[in-house]
Amino acid sequence: MRAIILAAGLGLRLQQPAGDQFPKCLLQFDGVTLLERHLQMLDAAGVHDVVLALGFQPELVEAELKRINWPHKVEIVLNPRFDLGSVLTVHTVADAITRGGDVLVMDADVLYDERILSALVAGETVNRLLIDRDFETGDEPVKLCLQGGVPVELRKQLAVGLQYDTIGESVGFFRFREETARRFADIVAGYIDSGRANMPHEEAVRDLLLERSHVFDTADVTGAPWIEIDFPNDVARAASEILTQLRPFISLARQTTS
């Protein structure tokens, strides 16, 4: 199983002061960056094949990798046009997506409980989505809608009259089987070829789901704390509401120097 962590973006909505911007995966909570938390939990889950898709200030992320001293090699792929949509970042890692085996595609800007990753990686080869039914309505969450257990929508804005029996927020992590990952890469390439490089990669996932050519199961992670960090108030909520519910982490760098 291979994990692809998307960490290329500018993070403009965080409203960091000019000159002080840095990749969101380097946000620290209790002295541990989001990147290190990702790597530690992947390691605990037995996922050691990691590809990191970078763009904005990659040297800062590479320095953090050295500081962490994670015991496995991390493959780094650069997207020089990180100012465009995340679908282009996914396209830059197409080789890793189609290399074989199950693939995890994960946003880097998520603070989450280990139960969420456990639900994603459990079992043999499978296509899997994660849904949190306890979510705040509004325009920002990416909604996942199911009808009889089958995904019928994955979007922030739902069409009027859409029929579904379950709705929740999609956690920004997806799992694809080998053949499904190849089809996903093809769809992403179609976005680039048709001039839609400014789109979010979730749109390509949506196209894949609505083709109905690959069966997906859905793991319900309702009750497991997590937050995607896009805005300044998300940082505050992550520290005050989410972090307090998570198992304490000890930095790998701190362990090796103690």
**Cα end-to-end distance, the chain, whole Å:** 32
Q: Distance between CA 112 and CA 92 in Å, rounded?
A: 26
Say whether pLDDT at 247 is over 90. Answer: no
Confidence grade of residue 12 (pLDDT, cut at 50, 70, 90) = low
Residue 215, token pair as written in the block: 């069966």
User: Per-domain residue ranges for the chain?
Assistant: 2-127+172-198+225-253
One-letter-per-residue 3-state SS of the chain: CEEEEEECCCCHHHCCCCCCCCCHHHCEECCEEHHHHHHHHHHHCCCCEEEEEECCCHHHHHHHHHHHCCCCCEEEEECCCCCCCHHHHHHHCHHHHCCCCCEEEEECCEEECHHHHHHHHCCCCCCEEEEECCCCCCCCCCEEEEECCEEEEEECCCCCCCCCCEEEEEEEEEEECHHHHHHHHHHHHHHHHCCCCCCCHHHHHHHHHHHCCCCCEEEECCCCCEEECCCHHHHHHHHHHHHHHCCCCCCHHHHHHC
Question: Which of 207, 252, 233 lies closest to 43 in space, CA to CA?
Answer: 252
State pLDDT tens for residues 43-99: 999 999 999 999 999 999 999 999 998 889 999 999 999 999 899 999 999 999 999
* Domain 2-127+172-198+225-253 fold: Spore Coat Polysaccharide Biosynthesis Protein SpsA; Chain A (3.90.550)
pLDDT tens column, 208-236: 999 999 999 999 999 999 999 999 999 99
Please give the Cα distance from 161 to 66 (Å, whole number): 51
The pLDDT tens digits of the residues spanning 129-151 come to 999 999 988 888 999 999 999 99
pLDDT at residue 258 above 50?
no
Q: Which two tokens stand for residue 216?
A: 């997906």
- φ/ψ (deg, to 5) at 208: -60, -45
